[in-house]
Structure 1
């Protein structure tokens, strides 16, 4: 096999297991649960490909819905193609709608840190770039303090001061294109989902079985 052909094969293989590069010209209608009620709060997290992150949070008891989108940058109306350049400042982010009577914000922070490698700068294997960086967003001082306390404890007990997660106040969350919503559930045989998303979800389930919804165990 020639060197050029080898490079082409490798590049194509990497594309198949990358979160970026997939697109659907036709928007898919996604049926989401009604998220507007007085008992629901929203938390926001970024930790790599949002297909993975959304599926993880939707498996957690007390979480009513998770929505993929973009946050953390200054560019107005970001799109999947634009954030893929790494120049918008935004990261792939998931809005987690949860019932605080069933699951606490602190537990969601535990899920966040327990489901990715927070020491990786600008990425989660196999996806790298600022759009895949680790961010724990907060909406008020209490949430900020919970996140920072968690980081302090993990840095002391587990990561030896190497956590690279940003702690950022949420300003604007932009919902991603419809075809990204519930992507893992709707595309179980897609290359990236099979190679990365499902194994990542299964690792989380094995680590936190007590946090799972009954139908996700």
Structure 2
């Protein structure tokens, strides 16, 4: 072949061929086309596939449903879902949220597990309701030890009035309902439901 002829030959496509996929009734030219159009990172989809043994279409449909139910704008790119959103602010982890609330992440996690709460926001709402009874003197809470140090006896301290105060005062005044979305909870609910559907379909085949 002469050099002049080679110049006019079409350039060979070196990339791997791209195959059409159909997700929720819509056909896309390729997997990357789906990810690009729906603003869901391809790595996020592959992670779902690897962790749960599902095909691309199933993983993509699950993530798209999670994004929609969480109210995340269609134009927002998702490479990793946040744990929750509070009035537009995203929190990636419990540690991040707990640090802002000035409470131990371990305390929140332990309370959630012990009380069977459905999600982090539900947990925080329940924690806000928790109270403890304490002695109240001169407008402030005091402990039994403090009363003893103040000169009260094992008999006279019983005259000090008691009052219920929040068990977790750090959470007082916070609103975990208005404009709040528990993305992690939605993620688990959608994922579990879709995986059960897939399992049922495979058993019926």
Q: TM-score range by the shorter chain?
A: under 0.3
Of Structure 1 and Structure 2, the greater helix share is in 2
TM-score (norm 2): 0.20
Query: Which structure has the bigger radius of gyration?
Result: 2
Which structure's relative contact order is higher, taking Cα pairs within 8 Å and 6+ residues apart? 1
TM-score (norm 1): 0.19
